[in-house]
């Protein structure tokens, strides 16, 4: 199985006629994702790679049928309105690709999403992929690459870095480990689905046998994941690597969500929390690809 998306997920692309929207729609359609509609105000009647375009998400729902997932490719200042439009139309999962979305806009999206029982991935995310079923966003870049780098299997992947998300998946595949769902959670300080929420999803998926996690300094996602394990809410093997071992307080590492301040979010604290909870935390990135096959072989 998989989490969040599969071959049945009905996807709408907001901002489909923009440069990024068109390129990524091509990726999704050629991969086999069930993209049923696109939205750009004033562009109704056009098509992008065979996908009909509508003026609003509500109109797309009425004419193309129910929509499960919206992937948003609009400029950052317009993300809030696009997200609210999708939520109000009834979409239950948003994938917010752009970076530099204003923090207060994200807080408003989060508040509305909670009230309407809606989930979102991102902002500042490459998206997610359930190999052999669907890709939503820009993971893989091209359909052929996504098919080559991401093979179906029993291991979930969650990562705070876009580039590392792809690297982990590629090297796990080369090591003979297939993947259930791969999620780049997003690089901002506030995101819709942090590690603990995704671990709960993988816990419920009977075909996911283990999870590989790439964490970083900054924020508390990794510590929260450790608490989840201690509470018995995630019981499957978790193999983790935490980036930023040499970073000191005040250091900004890669992106906005990875910064140490006030002694919180440190590499040491994250590693100790996860190990004390029973997670397998490796010391080098390459160990992920030797340890994980061994773990999968035992479960």
Catalytic sites, residue numbers: 255
Residue reference for tokens 């996860």: 274
Sheet with 152-159: list strands edge to edge: 134-137, 127-130, 179-184, 152-159, 210-216, 238-243, 280-281
The set of residues, in sequence order, having a beta carbon less than 8 Å from that of 88 and lying 6+ positions away, is: 57, 58
Residue 99 tokens read as 């970076």
CA atoms of 228 and 182, how far apart (whole Å): 20
Length of the chain: 299
The answer for residues whose C-beta is within 8 angstroms of residue 94's C-beta and 6 or more apart is 69, 70, 71, 72, 83, 86, 87, 109, 113, 118, 119, 120, 121, 122, 192
Q: Are 162 and 150 in contact (CB under 8 A)?
A: no
């Amino acid at each position: 199985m998989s989490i969040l998306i599969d071959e049945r997920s009905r996807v709408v692309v907001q901002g489909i006629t923009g440069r990024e929207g068109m390129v990524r729609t091509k990726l999704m359609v050629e991969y086999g994702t069930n993209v049923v509609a696109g939205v750009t105000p004033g562009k109704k009647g056009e098509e992008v790679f065979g996908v009909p375009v509508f003026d609003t998400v509500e109109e797309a729902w009425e004419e193309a049928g129910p929509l499960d997932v919206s992937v948003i490719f609009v400029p950052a200042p317009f993300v809030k309105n696009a997200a609210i439009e999708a939520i109000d139309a009834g979409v239950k999962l948003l994938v917010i690709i752009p970076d530099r979305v204003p923090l207060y806009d994200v807080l408003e999206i989060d508040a509305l999403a909670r009230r309407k029982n809606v989930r979102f991935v991102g902002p500042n995310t490459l998206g997610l992929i359930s190999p052999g079923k669907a890709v939503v966003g820009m993971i893989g870049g091209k359909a052929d690459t996504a098919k080559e780098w991401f093979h179906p299997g029993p291991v979930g992947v969650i990562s705070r870095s876009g580039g590392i998300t792809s690297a982990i998946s590629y090297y796990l595949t080369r090591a003979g480990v297939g993947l259930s769902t791969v999620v780049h959670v997003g690089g901002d300080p506030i995101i819709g689905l942090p590690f603990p929420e995704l671990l709960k999803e993988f816990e419920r998926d009977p075909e996911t046998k283990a999870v590989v996690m790439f964490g970083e300094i900054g924020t508390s996602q990794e510590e929260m994941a450790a608490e989840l394990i201690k509470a018995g809410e995630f019981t499957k093997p978790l193999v983790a690597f935490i980036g930023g071992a040499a970073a000191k307080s005040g250091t900004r590492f890669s992106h906005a969500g990875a910064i140490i301040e006030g002694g919180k979010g440190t590499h040491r604290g994250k590693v100790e929390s996860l190990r004390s909870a029973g997670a397998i935390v490796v010391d080098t990135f390459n160990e992920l690809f030797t340890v994980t096959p061994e773990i999968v072989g035992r479960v």
